[in-house]
Amino acid sequence: MIPQHQSLYAAYDLYPSTKGAATHINAFASTLFDFCGDGLLYVLGNEQLPSIQPESDYTIVRFSKQVHNYLDRAKQYTNFLAQIIQWQSSLKLIHFRDVWSGMAILNSAVQSPTLFEVNALPSIELPYHYQLSPPTLQKIRQLEDWCLHQSTHLVAPSLVIQQTLEKRGIPSDKITHIPNGAEILNQTPPAPDQAPERYIIYFGALQHWQGIDDLLKAFAGLQDLSDLHLVICSSNKRQTAKPFIKMAAKLGISDRIIWQFQLHKTALQAWISHALLSIAPLKACSRNLEQGCSPLKIFESMACKTAVVASDLPVVREIFAPDFPVKLVYPDRPHLLSQAIRFLLESPNIRENMALQSWQLLQNKYSWKAQKEKLVNIYYKLTHK
């Protein structure tokens, strides 16, 4: 039996996991539960995680049924959440981050204020994973619009997402921009035992829009730097990397790539902290340009005092002031990425200045503490109307 709670945070994501979404969920769900005194966290699960997990001041409930078809699983996830909400009579505030949760919440009889954290729009993102017919995508878009309009308030992790929502008819005063953040790393952890002396790093998921293929091509252009390695810390399982492992072999760079998979946060921070550069080679595609994102890897690199080379996209530019010392390159141009990496490797003073100023920017503007304070302000306004 699930106990009564004052708040609900719902996310169609596996939790916990090594993906960035889990980091975000942990930061925001804990903020909600602290604000309300307790809470119910409804997320996806798997065979290794318990379906119900009581904690000191909150309960995790996981939808763990494995359904092969994405939309069928989303529907069953929604239906299960709808059943749970029927038995939660004490909810004072609800926060969710996807339309599948929104369907259950906004169709329920609960009168609580609702905060929709718009991290993704399935009508834009799903075609990168699945072949969906135009009528199906249109239905999903209509569902998105319904959730956007029915929610009490919206949070947009990037200004690009906020602008997209405004173009879809959402008033600007209904949206609050709260970007991602990172925990400030005050002490540098020891280097991993298997770390080479000189390496650059990519960490995160391996979806198409992340630009891993461009990074591999760029690294192939640095063949003359024989002592330089590329470390790829994937938040996915090893099997997801197979196409990139094959590509690296064709490019003749396999012997200089070190693969790591699903690292614990502490281990990942050690790899980031001792890298010469952190690379965020995002592609110029609708997922990044229209839907938008708030690249967690950039904030976490800043927290580790590691200089960043990233694609010159609006979602990246909005993080930094126009005159801020950061190296941005045109997306989808491996040769330009290669040149930028080479320049910074040969300019240690510039690289170190970039790293230090980025770390200071994170402290002043992008710590999780700062983002949580913005979220608490929204919660207060929603519950004191």
The whole-number pLDDT of residue 154 equals: 98
The mean pLDDT value for 375-383 works out to: 98
CB 376 within 8 A of CB 330: no
Average pLDDT, the chain: 96
> 143 vs 61, 127, 246, 301, 340, CA distance in Å?
24, 16, 39, 36, 42
**Letter for the amino acid at 221?**
G
pLDDT beyond 90 at 185: no
pLDDT tens digits along 133-171: 999 999 999 999 999 999 999 999 999 999 999 999 999
pLDDT tens digits along 190-230: 999 999 999 999 999 999 999 999 999 999 999 999 999 99
pTM: 0.95
> 215 vs 246, 269, 311, 378, CA distance in Å?
14, 21, 11, 39
The whole-number pLDDT of residue 1 equals: 76
Q: Structural domains in the chain?
A: 7-181+368-383 (3.40.50.2000), 198-366 (3.40.50.2000)
Encoded tokens for 209: 């829009």
234 CB-near residues (< 8 Å, 6+ apart): 203, 204, 205, 206, 240, 241, 259, 260, 261, 262
The whole-number pLDDT of residue 385 equals: 74
The whole-number pLDDT of residue 152 equals: 98
Q: Please tell me whether residue 47 adopts helix, strand or coil conformation.
A: coil
pLDDT tens digits along 84-130: 999 999 999 999 999 999 999 999 988 999 999 999 999 999 998 89
CB 213 within 8 A of CB 247: yes
How would residue 186 be classed by pLDDT, with cut points 50, 70 and 90? Answer: confident
* Greater pLDDT, 290 or 146: 146
273 CB-near residues (< 8 Å, 6+ apart): 185, 188, 189, 191, 304, 305, 306
Distance CA 251, CA 184 (A): 37
